[in-house]
Amino acid sequence: MLTCLRVSNLAIIDELEVELGPGLNVVTGETGAGKSILITALQLVMGAKSRPELVRTGADEAVIEALFELGPDPELRARLEAAELSAGDELVIRRVVQAEGRSRAYVNGRLATATQLGVLAAGLTDISSQHQHHTLVDPKTHLDFLDAYARLLDQRARIAGAHAKLAEAAAELDALQRRFRERADREDLLRFQVDEIDALGLRDGEDRELEEERERLRHAERLARAAGGAEEALYAQDGSLSEMLGRIAGEVREAAEIDASLAPYAERLEEALAQIEDTAKELGHYARDVSLEPERLGEVEDRLDRLHRLQRKYGGDVAAILEHRATAAEELASLEQHEDRVAEAESKQKAALAEATKVARELSQKRKAASKALGERIGEELASLGMGGARVVVELAPLEVKGGLEVDGARLSATGIDRAEFLIAPNKGEPARPLAKVASGGELSRAMLAIKRTLAGLGPAGTYVFDEVDTGVGGAVAEVIGRKLGDVAEHHQVICITHLAQIAVYGQTHFRVAKKVVGDRTCSEIVRLDEAERLEEIARMVGGVKITARTRAAAAELLEQARR
DSSP states of 110-136 as a string?
Answer: EEE-HHHHHHHHTTTEEEESSSSS-TT
Q: Which of 50-54, 218-222, 260-264 has the lowest mean pLDDT?
A: 218-222
Measuring CA to CA, how many Å separate 317 from each of 185, 199, 214, 311, 326?
Answer: 27, 17, 17, 6, 15
Amino acid at 523: C
Judge whether 27 and 42 are in contact, CB under 8 Å: no
- Whether 108 contacts 87, CB under 8 Å: yes
User: Contact, 394 vs 372, CB < 8 A?
Assistant: yes
- In the chain, the amino acid numbered 485 is L
Confidence of residue 186 (pLDDT cuts 50, 70, 90): confident
Q: Is residue 468 part of a domain?
A: no
Rounded Cα distance between 349 and 309, Å, is 44
Q: Please, what's the b/e burial string for 245-266 (b: 16 or more CB within 10 A of its CB; e: otherwise)?
A: bbeebeebbeebeeeeebeeeb
Measured distance CA(422)–CA(362) in Å, rounded:
22
Residue 521, SS3 per DSSP: strand
Number of Cα atoms under 13 Å in the Cβ half of residue 218: 8
Q: Reduced to 3 states, what is the DSSP secondary structure of residue 559?
A: helix
- Per the domain annotation, does 40 fall within a domain? no
Given this model, what pLDDT does residue 368 score? Answer: 94
| Section 373-399 average pLDDT | 86
136 inside domain: no
Q: How many CA atoms lie within 13 A of 49 on its CB side?
A: 2
Q: Where are the alpha helices (DSSP H) in 318-425?
A: 318-336, 338-384
Residue 438: the pLDDT is: 64
Q: Give 399's DSSP letter.
A: P
How far apart are the C-alpha atoms of 495 and 508, rounded to whole Å?
A: 10
* Strand-pair category, 406-407 with 391-398: unpaired
> Do the Cβ atoms of 64 and 44 come closer than 8 Å?
yes
Residue 123 · residue 135 · CB < 8 Å = yes
What is the reported pLDDT for 20? 92
Length of the chain counted residue by residue: 564
Question: 158-172, 208-222, 261-275, 510-524 — which is least confidently predicted?
Answer: 208-222
For the chain, give the mean pLDDT: 84
Report whether 450 contacts 481 (CB < 8 A): no
The phi, psi pair for 103, rounded to 5°, reads -140, 155
Pick from 236, 229, 216: which is nearest to 291 by CA? 216
pLDDT band at 419 (very low <50, low <70, confident <90, very high): very high
By residue range, what is the domain housing residue 259?
206-316
Closest CA to 466 of 493, 439, 432, 426: 493
Please tell me the predicted confidence (pLDDT) of residue 525: 87
| pLDDT on residue 457 | 67
Residue 340 has pLDDT above 90, yes or no: no
Average pLDDT over residues 360-387: 89
Residue 424 φ then ψ, to 5°:
-140, 135
Residue 280 inside a domain? The answer is: yes
Q: Provide, rounded to the nearest whole percent, the portion of the chain with pLDDT above 70.
A: 92
C-alpha distance from residue 198 to each of 191, 310, 322 (Å)? 10, 11, 9
Cα separation, 560 vs 558, whole angstroms:
5
Angstrom distance (rounded) from CA 481 to CA 504 = 10
The pLDDT of residue 133:
42
Task: List pLDDT tens digits, range 49-86.
Answer: 888 989 998 899 999 999 998 877 777 787 888 887 76
Count of domains observed in the chain: 1
| Amino acid occupying residue 165 | K
Q: Is residue 218 part of a domain?
A: yes
- CA 14 to chain CA mean position, Å: 39
Enumerate the β-bridge partners of residue 344: none
- Give strand pairing partners of 61: 98
Q: Answer whether residue 269 is part of any domain.
A: yes
Phi, psi of 97 (to 5 degrees): -115, 120
> For residue 97, what pLDDT is reported?
93
The pLDDT of 386-404, averaged and rounded, is 84
Q: For residue 311, is it within any domain?
A: yes
d(CA 367, CA 509): 39
Reply yes or no on whether the pLDDT at 131 is more than 50. Answer: no
Q: Strand 406-407 and strand 410-411: pairing?
A: antiparallel
CA distances from 348 to 145, 158, 173, 177, 339 (A): 33, 18, 9, 14, 14
Distance, CA of 285 to CA of 293 (rounded, Å): 18
**Burial zone of 409 (CB within 10 Å; 0-12 exposed, 13-18 middle, 19+ buried):** exposed
Range among 284-288, 339-343, 419-423, 560-564 rated most confident: 419-423
b or e along 10-46 (b: 16 or more beta carbons within 10 Å of the residue's beta carbon)? Answer: bbbbbebebebebbbbbbbbeeebbbbbbbbbbbbbb
pLDDT digits (tens, 9 = 90+) for 458-500: 656 578 888 877 776 777 788 888 888 888 888 889 999 988 8
- The reported pTM is 0.62
| Predicted confidence (pLDDT) at residue 252 exceeds the cutoff of 70 | yes
Q: What is the pLDDT of residue 357?
A: 93
Q: What is the C-alpha to C-alpha distance for residues 525 and 540, in angstroms, rounded to an integer?
A: 18
Residue 161 neighbours by CB under 8 Å, 6+ apart: none
User: CA angle at residue 211 from 206 to 216, to 5 degrees?
Assistant: 125
Tell me whether residue 527 is in a domain: no
d(CA 254, CA 188): 83
Given a cut of 50, whether residue 421 has pLDDT beyond it is yes
Contact 47, 32 (CB under 8 A): no
Residues 400, 421 contacting (CB under 8 angstroms): no
Lowest mean pLDDT among 182-186, 233-237, 242-246, 437-441: 437-441
